[in-house]
């Protein structure tokens, strides 16, 4: 009897999880479906779910009108570059704060987070002028720089919490066995920190990939990533949902695939420390 109840519970919770997952995924699914509709069907009321005239003409139009690969390459460089540099700065910073904290560590952490509390538009004009002075407008390096700075507080915070979860006793045990700092780092700490590092990397990559304020405002054509590619398909006068959906589907495809393949790391990293 108890066993049956458990099975039932499992079934119910599984169904609930699937339903919840489906609800979360639905907007993306709807976008993908809309990208295969004609403009009129994409706007039709009542909307048709699967039974419509499937067409790939939106993808053809998007391909014809925009250079997807140019934008995608920019996105990869900007998101990847900013993530790597952020990690290079954040790992030592978080490491030192987690393993040899000082009196001011907490204040520094809070101060870093406070920089995220100001809306970016508040500093748009100063940043624009700085970029103009240094010739960074519409350059990939400028965007790498600004996105790296923007995400750095989050990266440091995430890594700090992961590193704090690593028991110091393990380090001490390694030292007792005669491990040097180098060996301790490579063979003891790194394997334990990998899930945390991986999920931070992936989250930061997603944040940088989707960042639409700075990328839209500081790029024109040379450095324009996929966010500007999507923005170019919204129209004040004329139907555009199907083409916009096609552009959005193309824009999220790489990050979706990456997320799919690394979801194991991501889940492990995000729940790191919860189960000891």
Point out which residues bind another protein (CB under 8 A): 39-40, 43-45, 65, 77, 81, 84-85, 88, 124-125, 128-129, 132, 137-141, 144, 216-217, 220-222, 224, 228, 231-240
Minimum CB distance to another protein, residue 173 (Å): 28
Distance CA 123, CA 121 (A): 5
The minimum distance between CB 65 and another protein, in angstroms, equals 7
- Give the integer Cα–Cα distance in Å for 231 and 69: 16
The structure tokens 């990533």 sit at 225
Angle at the Cα of 137 from the Cα atoms of 88 and 224, rounded to 5 degrees: 80
As measured in angstroms, the least distance from the Cβ of 238 to another protein is 5
For the bound state, the minimum distance from the C-beta of residue 147 to another protein, rounded and expressed in Å, comes to 13
Instruction: Between 102 and 220, name the residue whose CB sits nearer to another protein.
Output: 220
The three-state (H, E, C) secondary structure of the chain, written as one string: CHHHHHHHHHHHHHHHHHHHHHHHHHHHHHHHHHCCCCHHHHCCCCCCCCCCCCCCHHHHHHHHHCCHHHHHHHHHHHHHHHHHHHHHHHHHHHHHHHHCCCCCHHHHHHHHHHHHHCCHHHHHHHHHHHHHHCCCCCCHHHHHHHHHHHHHHHHHHHHHHHHHHCCHHHHHHHHHCCCCHHHHHHHHHHHHHHHHHHHHHHHHHHHHHHCCHHHHHHCCCCCCCHHHHHHCCCCCCCCCHHHHHHHHHHHHHHHHHHHHHCHHHHHHHHCCCCCC
* Cβ closest to another protein, residue 74 vs residue 199: 74
Instruction: Select from 252, 276, 255, 242 the least CA-distant residue to 34.
Output: 242
Whose Cβ is closer to another protein: residue 10's or residue 40's?
40
Q: Which is nearer to another protein, 16 or 44 (CB)?
A: 44
Tell me how far, at minimum, the Cβ of 66 lies from another protein, in Å.
Answer: 8
Compare residues 87 and 174 and give the one whose CB is closer to another protein: 87
Nearer to another protein, 185 or 256 (CB): 185
Nearer to another protein among residue 124 and residue 179 (C-beta): 124
Shortest CB 213 distance to another protein, Å: 10
Q: How far is the CB of 91 from another protein (least distance, A)?
A: 10
């Amino acid at each position: 009897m108890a066993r049956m109840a458990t099975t039932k519970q499992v079934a119910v919770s599984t169904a609930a999880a699937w339903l919840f997952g489906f609800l979360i995924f639905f907007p993306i699914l709807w976008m993908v479906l809309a990208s295969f509709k004609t403009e009129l069907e994409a706007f039709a009321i009542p909307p048709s779910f699967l039974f419509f005239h499937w067409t790939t003409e939106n993808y053809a139009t998007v391909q014809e009108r925009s250079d997807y690969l140019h934008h995608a390459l920019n996105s990869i460089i900007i998101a990847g570059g900013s993530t790597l540099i952020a990690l290079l700065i954040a790992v030592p910073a978080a490491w030192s704060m987690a393993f040899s904290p000082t009196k001011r560590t907490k204040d520094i952490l809070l101060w870093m987070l406070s920089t995220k509390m100001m809306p970016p538009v508040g500093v748009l004009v100063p940043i624009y002028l700085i970029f103009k002075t240094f010739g960074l407008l519409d350059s990939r390096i400028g965007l790498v720089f600004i996105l790296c700075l923007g995400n750095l507080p989050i990266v440091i915070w995430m890594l700090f919490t992961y590193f704090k979860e690593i028991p110091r006793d393990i380090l001490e045990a390694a030292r007792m066995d005669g491990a040097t700092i180098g060996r301790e780092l490579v063979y003891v700490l790194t394997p334990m920190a990998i899930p945390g590092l991986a999920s931070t990397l992936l989250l930061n990559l997603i944040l940088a990939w989707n960042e639409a304020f700075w990328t839209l405002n500081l790029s024109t054509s040379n450095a324009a990533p996929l966010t500007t590619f999507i923005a170019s398909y919204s129209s004040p006068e004329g139907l555009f949902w199907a083409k916009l959906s096609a552009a959005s589907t193309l824009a999220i495809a790489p990050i979706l695939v990456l997320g799919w393949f690394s979801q194991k790391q991501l889940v492990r990293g995000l729940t790191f420390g919860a189960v000891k």
